[in-house]
Structure 1
Amino acid sequence: LAAILDDFKKRGERALVGFDFPLGFPRGFAKALSLPGEHPWRAVWDQLNKMVKDKADNTNNRFGVGSEINRRLTGGPFPFWGCPPKDTLTTLQPKRTREHGPDDLPEFRYADEAAKGAHSIWKLYYNGSVGGQAIVGIPAARRLKDARGDAARVWPFETGFKALTEADLEGVLVVIAEVYPSLLKATPAPGEVKDLAQVRAQAEHFAKLDEAGKLAALFAAPKAADEVVEAAVAEEGWILGA
């Protein structure tokens, strides 16, 4: 991916990089962990970068990270849940131990509620889980962004929640956003697996919008209450097209 982006840079072309996992956690997460910094989303990115060990052979410590965060938040196996039996710990169980209550961190982000069918970030394992991908993926997105400095911006945290104009993107070569391919109906071609078909359909969809001059409008805030927009920009993030 870095090589592809470097090639785009040489050609003076801008790229939209979509990650199919949450780029932020439910509102209140950074505060609950007492993370420092003015920007909750970035504080979480920095914290995960310190905790995650992601090796070249694709082994990682995502279950250990989830367990440690559970310990810091509640001292028990909550809110993260889901793991293979061999990774079971006092602070991480294979099955969810209880429901979220009014005094807990939310089970879903506002974006998850807007995108029908999205799974909770607290689910680390089993079909449809995104928690493990977020724990490992956010540090990777952080490295990608930091290597490019101000030429890479994360939507909506750094771009603002608005239709993006050329003036907004002056000097920006990479826009990083969260995507959810299941929002679009994709029909696999012969020999094509479902995941590949979904990614292809998503890329083609955004490309067509871009060609028609309609992609910029997709970055605008949804018609939602002020607290929803504020939470999305400060810490939760949003799903492009939700």
Structure 2
Amino acid sequence: MSLFDTYIMVDWSGGNDAGPTPRKDAIWACIARGGVTETPVYLRNREVAETWLTEMIADEIGAGRRVCAGFDFPFGYPRGFGAALTGSNDPLAVWDWFADHIEDAPEGNNRCQVASDINALFEGVGPFWGNPYPTRDFAHLPRKGLARSNRDFPEKRAVEELAKGSFTCWQLSGAGAVGSQVIMGLPVLARLRHRFSGQVAAWPFEVLDRSVALVEIWPSLIAGAVARDMRADEIKDAAQVRVLAGAVARLDAEGALEPLLRAGTAGDREGWILGVGFEAQLEQAATGEVYA
């Protein structure tokens, strides 16, 4: 029996409104359900995305369907950071902390100022770095990673040491950087948890015994399958969520998803990327083949 009925994969963005015309480096989402992978949905900013996710989750819960919702940004930080920031070892306290401190609008947000303010709490320079604004400086946010001197926290999480090519969550700007997506994504996940209180579980921090499971994904784990399956004129971000949604759904249909979720217990404080250690199985599922 499948663990879930509906699979929603989301390619997130830490930037501003991307405009009405579908484009890369924006927010894309795709749903797989009942053996069918739907056309990816373009979501031009986080406000639109949060509304879409809220309505989608409410509909699925109302229909009695269990949901696996994946987001392509880290759900936690390297060991020690959460406790230093919030005074709690609960990684979900970091989600709530960012929800309380981040100000977000389609035209702009305060993520760099918040990162700078966090850096100011610690000795030395860092750990956050990267400033996307060429004419605006932040007192405690260096532009270059080499300018940092703070060594309170590891550079990467344990799972990122295994996921070769993954980026550290401390980097806020530059090609491939994921730090801004984390800061701007965790508040949305925090609000979804509270909006659907008692019905949402955050993997791997909580037991997945509720209607909705929020899981961390990284589409680059199936980069080969995405490259082979991209359609003519398809935007890569859209292809990634489409292929990954179908892969996760097929794994679950064959009873092969549970081991991937069980592996996440290794990241009980830092978070874990779904599929790390099971790249071959995920790639096979992405091409339509599943080997449990």
TM-score normalized by the length of structure 1: 0.85
Percent identical residues: 39
What secondary structure does 2:145 align onto?
A: coil
Tell me how far apart the structure 2 counterparts of residues 119 and 91 of structure 1 sit (CA, whole Å): 21
Q: CA deviation at 1:195?
A: 1.4
Tell me how far apart the structure 1 counterparts of residues 145 and 243 of structure 2 sit (CA, whole Å): 33
2:114 to 54, 65, 69: 65
The 3 A distance-change label for structure 1 pair 40 and 86 is farther
Output one character per residue of 1:22-45: Cα deviation in whole Å (capped at 9) or x when no partner.
110100002333x233x4302211
Cα-Cα RMSD: 1.8
What does 1:79-98 align with in structure 2 at a 5 Å threshold? 79-83=127-131, 84-98=133-147
What secondary structure does 2:198 align onto?
A: helix
Structure 1 position 216 matched with structure 2 position 258: yes
Tell me how far apart the structure 2 counterparts of residues 106 and 85 of structure 1 sit (CA, whole Å): 28
Tell me how far apart the structure 1 counterparts of residues 240 and 149 of structure 2 sit (CA, whole Å): 31
Larger deviation, residues 128-137 vs 211-220? 211-220
8 Å Cα contact 1:82/1:93 also seen in 2: yes
Output one character per residue of 1:151-185: Cα deviation in whole Å (capped at 9) or x when no partner.
110001012xxxxxxxx62xx11000100000002
Structure 1 position 24 matched with structure 2 position 93: no
Structure 1 position 11 matched with structure 2 position 63: yes
8 Å Cα contact 1:30/1:40 also seen in 2: yes
Structure 1 position 179 matched with structure 2 position 229: no
How many equivalent residue pairs?
219
Tell me how far apart the structure 2 counterparts of residues 241 and 93 of structure 1 sit (CA, whole Å): 33
What secondary structure does 2:135 align onto?
A: helix
Structure 1: any 5+ residue segments left out of the alignment? 160-167, 223-227
Q: Which residue of 2 aligns with 1:236?
A: 270
What secondary structure does 1:177 align onto?
A: strand
Structure 1 position 36 matched with structure 2 position 87: yes
8 Å Cα contact 1:79/1:122 also seen in 2: yes
Q: Which residue of 1 aligns with 2:239?
A: 197
Q: Which residue of 2 aligns with 1:144?
A: 192
Amino acid at match of 2:98: L
Tell me how far apart the structure 1 counterparts of residues 274 and 111 of structure 2 sit (CA, whole Å): 25
8 Å Cα contact 2:73/2:218 also seen in 1: yes
Tell me how far apart the structure 1 counterparts of residues 81 and 272 of structure 2 sit (CA, whole Å): 16
Structure 1 position 154 matched with structure 2 position 202: yes
What secondary structure does 1:208 align onto?
A: helix
8 Å Cα contact 1:32/1:73 also seen in 2: no
Q: Could you say which structure has the higher strand fraction?
A: 2
What secondary structure does 1:142 align onto?
A: helix
Amino acid at match of 2:244: Q
Q: CA deviation at 1:99?
A: 6.2
1:74 to 123, 126, 135: 123
Amino acid at match of 1:61: N
What secondary structure does 1:111 align onto?
A: helix
The 3 A distance-change label for structure 1 pair 116 and 100 is farther
Output one character per residue of 1:36-94: Cα deviation in whole Å (capped at 9) or x when no partner.
33x43022112111210012x25211111111111112353x11111122332221122
Q: CA deviation at 1:217?
A: 2.2
Tell me how far apart the structure 1 counterparts of residues 107 and 198 of structure 2 sit (CA, whole Å): 29
8 Å Cα contact 1:108/1:121 also seen in 2: yes
Structure 1 position 112 matched with structure 2 position 164: no
The 3 A distance-change label for structure 1 pair 121 and 100 is farther
